[in-house]
Amino acid sequence: MKVLYVTSEALPFAASGGLADVAGSLPRALRTRLIGCRVVLPLYESVPQELREGMTFLGSLSVPVAWRRQYCGVFEAKHNGVIYYLLDNQYYFKRAGLYGHYDDAERFAFLARAALEMLTLIDFKPDIIHANDWQTALTPVYYRLFYAGREGFENIKTVYTIHNIQYQGKYGMEILEDVFGIPQSARELVEYDGCVNLMKGAIEAADRITTVSPTYAEEIRDPWFSHGLDSILRLREDKLCGILNGIDTDSYNPQTDPDIYAHYSAEDPSGKAENKRALQERLCLAQDPDVPLIGMVTRLVSHKGLDLVKYILDELLSEDIQMVILGSGDWVYENFFREVQGRYPQKFCYCTGFVPELARKIYAGADIFLMPSKSEPCGLAQMVACRYGTIPVVRETGGLKDSIRDCGDGEGMGFTFKTYNANDMLYAIHRSLGAYANKHDWPILVKRAMETDFSWGRSANEYIRLYRSLVKEG
């Protein structure tokens, strides 16, 4: 079986969020299970030079973008046993940043079309084309409209994954033909609520729709979570399913991670204490091995549950705890956390931005990891925290509910709360602090968390079953 994975970002070439982690890990997991999976993404300006030097130029082609024809150079790279195709067009991709440009609609229409046109140039005909998020949502749309009946494109099935339903690719109908090249006769495929909605188009056109966790697949059929697409998803629920993401357990490995202060394992966790001491020193917190250290690594946006944190933070910091938050985002949160640090310099540290090496040091050095999200399609941080023996406190939503089991049953690996309520969150934090104070049971919980399997193996097997069922349908 052959799979072409179409994405706007993938590690190690380009990354802005969790999609890059998935696109860098899932294809490798498929490949190790003898599934021929190759990845296609843009050749952005930010792709590191050392990776560019290992690429091979395969050729070029002319890609239709509505009434235009645009150059596309196709470069091949190999990483961790997986073949990547990087599509070159300097007009679209020689820019700072991956997203947020005035012509993103045209840039990613080009990517969606080029991923299909490229098949005429390479020696790879996929059985499955797997597109991801709004940036590649047009790939299954274009396949249905322009390629399904063409020689060399027969019997290809399409899968579309919704990583975050909030970002749908909505544009005015006036660019339907001029930018997307979709004729008026097919406008109903992408039209929704008076505008072009690329995600809606993919939901209609793809053979299967997946999300990144089973609970999120249920949630997005509810108006509270769907950002307006619940009616379409309920109509198409027969082809919708949720498959929980995994993490790269080779990269996130406290036994080998070069970015942490000391290595350790579930069998020998002694090095975790040194990670905590060194992190406290770096953050100018009191170097106390007994005080519980709570960590957050997050984007500072409202759906991450930061309003709950704001509400109870003074009460929490009145107790014998320490806390560190790493992230950037909305000014209101950044400013608030800076002000709190000024009032509690020995107990609270706010670190601006996203610093990958510091994030790993927080995963390794903290005792408790807080993720109180209002919504969370999957989430990876809670899995990474477990991998490093840092016990998560999470709200039961999306992938957080599917991945973290409350330890109240004697078998879970974290602490959970259900309602989006600050006092409920505070109660869950207090439960974790009470468990931390139990010096006999806490190491047992840490070991259980570290031994939980969050690798891509389970998820890859579910995707393989999905792909095979599609191929059997013919």
DSSP state of 318: T
- The pLDDT tens digits for 59-97 are 999 999 999 999 999 999 999 999 999 999 999 999 999
**Residue bearing tokens 């399904």:** 148
Per-residue model confidence (pLDDT) at position 17: 82
| Closest C-alpha among 319, 263, 325, 260 to residue 291 | 319
Per-residue confidence band for 206, with pLDDT thresholds at 50, 70 and 90: very high
The answer, yes or no, to whether residue 53 has pLDDT greater than 90, is: yes
Cross-strand partners of 10: 14
- The pLDDT tens digits for 325-359 are 999 999 999 999 999 999 999 999 999 998 999 99
Per-residue model confidence (pLDDT) at position 421: 98
Beta-carbon contacts of 349 under 8 Å, excluding residues fewer than 6 positions away, are 283, 284, 285, 322, 323, 324, 325, 341
Contact 13, 93 (CB under 8 A): no
One domain, residues 277 and 397: yes
Q: Read off the amino acid at residue 317.
A: L
Instruction: Establish if 422 belongs to a structural domain.
Output: yes
One domain, residues 86 and 205: yes
CA-to-CA dists, residue 113 to 15, 59, 98, 116, 144, angstroms? 21, 17, 18, 5, 12
One domain, residues 390 and 435: yes
One domain, residues 289 and 307: yes
For residue 357, give the CATH number of its domain.
3.40.50.2000
Per-residue model confidence (pLDDT) at position 18: 86
Q: What is the pTM of this model?
A: 0.93
One domain, residues 286 and 155: no
Q: What percent of the chain has pLDDT over 90?
A: 97
Mean pLDDT across the stretch 295-323?
97
One domain, residues 439 and 350: yes
Pairing of strands 157-162, 208-211: parallel
Instruction: Establish if 264 belongs to a structural domain.
Output: no
Structurally, the chain folds into a number of domains equal to: 2
Per-residue confidence band for 311, with pLDDT thresholds at 50, 70 and 90: very high
Give the dihedral sign, CA 398/7/113/179. Answer: positive
Question: Could you tell me the residue range of the domain that residue 153 belongs to?
Answer: 2-246+457-473
Contact 93, 102 (CB under 8 A): no
Pairing of strands 2-6, 36-42: parallel
Pairing of strands 191-192, 170-171: unpaired
Per-residue confidence band for 205, with pLDDT thresholds at 50, 70 and 90: very high
One domain, residues 164 and 307: no
Per-residue model confidence (pLDDT) at position 269: 96
Per-residue model confidence (pLDDT) at position 371: 98
Backbone phi, then psi, for 387, in 5-degree steps?
-55, -30
Per-residue model confidence (pLDDT) at position 9: 97
One domain, residues 348 and 445: yes
- The pLDDT tens digits for 115-165 are 999 999 999 999 999 999 999 999 999 999 999 989 999 999 999 999 999
